[in-house]
Amino acid sequence: MAEILLFHHSLGLTKGINDFADKIRGAGHTVHVPDLFDGHLFTTIEDGMAYVNEIGFEEITERGIRVASEFPREIIYAGFSLGVVAAQKLAQTREGARGALLFYSCVPTSMFGSTWPAELPVQIHGMDADPYFVDEGDIEAARELVATADHAELFLYPGNQHFFADSSLPSYDANATTLLLQRVLKFLQHLDN
Protein backbone atom coordinates (compact mmCIF):
# COMPACT_ATOMS: atom_id res chain seq x y z
CA MET A 1 0.00 0.00 0.00
CA ALA A 2 1.01 3.61 -0.49
CA GLU A 3 2.64 5.91 2.05
CA ILE A 4 1.57 9.56 1.93
CA LEU A 5 2.85 12.71 3.62
CA LEU A 6 -0.10 15.14 3.70
CA PHE A 7 0.25 18.86 4.50
CA HIS A 8 -2.70 20.89 5.81
CA HIS A 9 -4.09 24.21 4.57
CA SER A 10 -3.96 27.72 6.06
CA LEU A 11 -6.62 27.03 8.69
CA GLY A 12 -4.31 24.51 10.34
CA LEU A 13 -4.64 20.80 11.02
CA THR A 14 -8.43 20.69 11.21
CA LYS A 15 -10.65 17.76 12.09
CA GLY A 16 -11.66 17.67 8.42
CA ILE A 17 -8.06 17.14 7.30
CA ASN A 18 -7.72 14.30 9.79
CA ASP A 19 -11.04 12.83 8.60
CA PHE A 20 -9.81 12.98 5.00
CA ALA A 21 -6.59 11.19 5.99
CA ASP A 22 -8.63 8.57 7.85
CA LYS A 23 -10.64 7.81 4.69
CA ILE A 24 -7.41 7.11 2.83
CA ARG A 25 -6.13 5.03 5.75
CA GLY A 26 -9.40 3.10 5.60
CA ALA A 27 -8.37 1.89 2.15
CA GLY A 28 -5.18 0.43 3.65
CA HIS A 29 -2.72 3.26 2.99
CA THR A 30 -0.40 4.94 5.49
CA VAL A 31 -0.96 8.69 5.86
CA HIS A 32 1.22 11.04 7.91
CA VAL A 33 -0.34 14.43 8.71
CA PRO A 34 2.12 16.75 10.46
CA ASP A 35 0.95 19.95 12.14
CA LEU A 36 3.00 22.77 10.64
CA PHE A 37 1.15 25.33 12.80
CA ASP A 38 2.03 23.91 16.24
CA GLY A 39 -1.62 23.40 17.16
CA HIS A 40 -2.91 26.78 15.96
CA LEU A 41 -6.28 26.68 14.19
CA PHE A 42 -8.03 29.49 12.33
CA THR A 43 -11.55 30.10 11.05
CA THR A 44 -10.73 32.31 8.05
CA ILE A 45 -8.12 32.19 5.33
CA GLU A 46 -7.17 35.76 6.21
CA ASP A 47 -6.44 34.85 9.84
CA GLY A 48 -4.52 31.75 8.82
CA MET A 49 -2.44 33.67 6.30
CA ALA A 50 -1.76 36.41 8.88
CA TYR A 51 -0.24 33.67 11.05
CA VAL A 52 1.75 32.37 8.08
CA ASN A 53 3.04 35.89 7.38
CA GLU A 54 3.96 36.32 11.05
CA ILE A 55 5.96 33.06 11.10
CA GLY A 56 7.17 33.48 7.53
CA PHE A 57 5.87 31.74 4.42
CA GLU A 58 9.28 30.22 3.74
CA GLU A 59 9.49 28.96 7.34
CA ILE A 60 6.16 27.13 7.01
CA THR A 61 7.40 25.50 3.79
CA GLU A 62 10.71 24.61 5.45
CA ARG A 63 8.85 23.00 8.35
CA GLY A 64 7.31 20.68 5.78
CA ILE A 65 10.72 19.96 4.26
CA ARG A 66 12.16 19.16 7.70
CA VAL A 67 9.27 16.84 8.51
CA ALA A 68 9.79 15.04 5.20
CA SER A 69 13.38 14.25 6.17
CA GLU A 70 11.98 11.96 8.87
CA PHE A 71 10.33 9.73 6.25
CA PRO A 72 11.57 7.56 3.39
CA ARG A 73 12.19 9.37 0.11
CA GLU A 74 9.90 6.88 -1.65
CA ILE A 75 6.68 8.55 -0.56
CA ILE A 76 3.72 10.37 -2.10
CA TYR A 77 3.50 14.06 -1.23
CA ALA A 78 0.10 15.67 -0.83
CA GLY A 79 -1.09 19.07 0.24
CA PHE A 80 -4.18 21.19 0.63
CA SER A 81 -3.89 24.83 -0.53
CA LEU A 82 -0.96 26.29 1.47
CA GLY A 83 0.27 22.74 2.03
CA VAL A 84 0.64 22.30 -1.73
CA VAL A 85 3.76 24.48 -1.69
CA ALA A 86 5.72 22.05 0.49
CA ALA A 87 4.19 19.00 -1.23
CA GLN A 88 4.93 20.26 -4.72
CA LYS A 89 8.45 21.39 -3.81
CA LEU A 90 9.26 18.00 -2.29
CA ALA A 91 7.73 16.03 -5.15
CA GLN A 92 9.51 18.13 -7.73
CA THR A 93 12.93 18.34 -6.09
CA ARG A 94 13.41 15.43 -3.66
CA GLU A 95 14.71 12.34 -5.37
CA GLY A 96 12.62 9.21 -4.92
CA ALA A 97 9.15 10.76 -4.79
CA ARG A 98 6.47 8.31 -5.95
CA GLY A 99 3.78 10.84 -6.77
CA ALA A 100 1.94 14.00 -5.77
CA LEU A 101 -1.62 14.96 -4.87
CA LEU A 102 -2.26 18.70 -5.02
CA PHE A 103 -5.58 19.94 -3.66
CA TYR A 104 -6.96 23.47 -4.26
CA SER A 105 -3.61 24.91 -5.42
CA CYS A 106 -0.68 24.58 -7.79
CA VAL A 107 2.33 26.83 -8.22
CA PRO A 108 4.49 27.34 -11.31
CA THR A 109 7.16 24.66 -11.45
CA SER A 110 9.73 27.42 -12.06
CA MET A 111 9.22 28.48 -8.43
CA PHE A 112 11.47 25.56 -7.47
CA GLY A 113 14.10 26.10 -10.16
CA SER A 114 13.30 23.08 -12.30
CA THR A 115 10.64 21.47 -14.43
CA TRP A 116 8.26 18.81 -13.16
CA PRO A 117 9.87 15.35 -13.44
CA ALA A 118 8.16 14.01 -16.56
CA GLU A 119 7.66 10.49 -15.18
CA LEU A 120 6.34 11.59 -11.76
CA PRO A 121 2.56 10.96 -11.47
CA VAL A 122 0.45 13.84 -10.18
CA GLN A 123 -3.19 14.70 -9.66
CA ILE A 124 -4.42 18.27 -9.17
CA HIS A 125 -7.93 18.92 -7.83
CA GLY A 126 -9.79 22.24 -7.62
CA MET A 127 -13.18 23.85 -8.10
CA ASP A 128 -13.83 25.51 -11.44
CA ALA A 129 -15.05 28.78 -9.88
CA ASP A 130 -12.86 28.89 -6.75
CA PRO A 131 -11.50 32.46 -6.80
CA TYR A 132 -8.24 31.38 -5.17
CA PHE A 133 -7.63 28.53 -7.61
CA VAL A 134 -8.95 30.20 -10.76
CA ASP A 135 -8.16 33.89 -10.29
CA GLU A 136 -4.72 33.70 -8.64
CA GLY A 137 -2.89 31.72 -11.32
CA ASP A 138 -3.14 28.24 -9.83
CA ILE A 139 -5.25 26.82 -12.63
CA GLU A 140 -2.78 28.10 -15.24
CA ALA A 141 0.13 26.58 -13.30
CA ALA A 142 -1.82 23.32 -13.07
CA ARG A 143 -2.53 23.25 -16.80
CA GLU A 144 1.12 23.96 -17.56
CA LEU A 145 2.27 21.17 -15.24
CA VAL A 146 -0.20 18.70 -16.74
CA ALA A 147 0.94 19.60 -20.27
CA THR A 148 4.57 18.79 -19.46
CA ALA A 149 4.15 15.63 -17.37
CA ASP A 150 3.59 12.14 -18.73
CA HIS A 151 1.23 11.04 -15.94
CA ALA A 152 -0.72 14.10 -14.81
CA GLU A 153 -4.40 14.83 -14.36
CA LEU A 154 -6.25 18.04 -13.55
CA PHE A 155 -9.73 17.54 -12.10
CA LEU A 156 -12.15 20.46 -11.89
CA TYR A 157 -15.31 20.23 -9.81
CA PRO A 158 -18.33 22.51 -10.18
CA GLY A 159 -18.41 25.14 -7.46
CA ASN A 160 -16.69 28.13 -5.93
CA GLN A 161 -15.44 26.78 -2.61
CA HIS A 162 -11.74 26.63 -1.79
CA PHE A 163 -11.68 24.13 1.11
CA PHE A 164 -14.35 21.86 -0.37
CA ALA A 165 -12.92 18.54 0.89
CA ASP A 166 -12.61 19.56 4.56
CA SER A 167 -15.66 18.09 6.30
CA SER A 168 -15.21 20.31 9.36
CA LEU A 169 -15.85 23.54 7.42
CA PRO A 170 -19.00 25.17 5.99
CA SER A 171 -17.36 25.09 2.52
CA TYR A 172 -17.46 21.27 2.49
CA ASP A 173 -18.99 19.71 -0.62
CA ALA A 174 -19.79 16.05 0.07
CA ASN A 175 -20.46 15.12 -3.57
CA ALA A 176 -17.25 16.69 -4.87
CA THR A 177 -15.26 15.13 -2.03
CA THR A 178 -16.68 11.66 -2.73
CA LEU A 179 -15.57 11.94 -6.36
CA LEU A 180 -12.19 13.39 -5.33
CA LEU A 181 -11.58 10.49 -2.94
CA GLN A 182 -12.53 7.94 -5.61
CA ARG A 183 -9.99 9.50 -7.95
CA VAL A 184 -7.30 9.68 -5.26
CA LEU A 185 -7.79 6.04 -4.27
CA LYS A 186 -7.60 4.96 -7.91
CA PHE A 187 -4.37 6.98 -8.26
CA LEU A 188 -2.91 5.32 -5.16
CA GLN A 189 -3.97 1.87 -6.35
CA HIS A 190 -2.28 2.49 -9.70
CA LEU A 191 0.96 3.48 -7.93
CA ASP A 192 0.82 0.25 -5.94
CA ASN A 193 0.78 -1.87 -9.11
Closest CA to 42 of 50, 30, 34: 50
The dihedral built from the CA positions of residue 109, 113, 116 and 120, taken in this order, carries a sign that is negative
Amino acid, res. 66: R
Q: How far apart are CA 144 and CA 53, in angstroms?
A: 28
Q: Looking at residue 114, what is its pLDDT?
A: 86
Amino acid, res. 165: A
**Where would I find the H helices in 39-173?**
45-55, 57-68, 82-93, 131-135, 138-148
Question: Looking at the chain, how many residues does it have?
Answer: 193
Q: Looking at residue 7, what is its pLDDT?
A: 99
CATH fold of the domain at 3-191 = Rossmann fold (3.40.50)
Q: How far apart are CA 108 and CA 139, in angstroms?
A: 10
- Per the CB < 8 A criterion, the answer to whether 97 and 90 are in contact is yes
Q: Looking at residue 6, what is its pLDDT?
A: 99
Q: Looking at residue 82, what is its pLDDT?
A: 97
Label residue 84 exposed, middle or buried (CB < 10 Å: 0-12, 13-18, 19+). buried
pLDDT in tens, the chain (193 residues): 999 999 999 999 999 999 999 999 999 999 999 999 999 999 999 999 999 999 999 999 999 999 999 999 999 999 999 999 999 999 999 999 999 999 999 999 999 988 999 999 999 999 999 999 999 999 999 999 999 999 999 999 999 999 999 999 999 999 999 999 999 999 999 987 6
Domain extent listing, the chain: 3-191
Q: Looking at residue 192, what is its pLDDT?
A: 78
CA dist list (Å): 140 to 131, 147, 154, 185: 13, 11, 11, 25
Q: Looking at residue 10, what is its pLDDT?
A: 98
| CB neighbour list of residue 147: distance below 8 Å, 6 or more residues apart | none
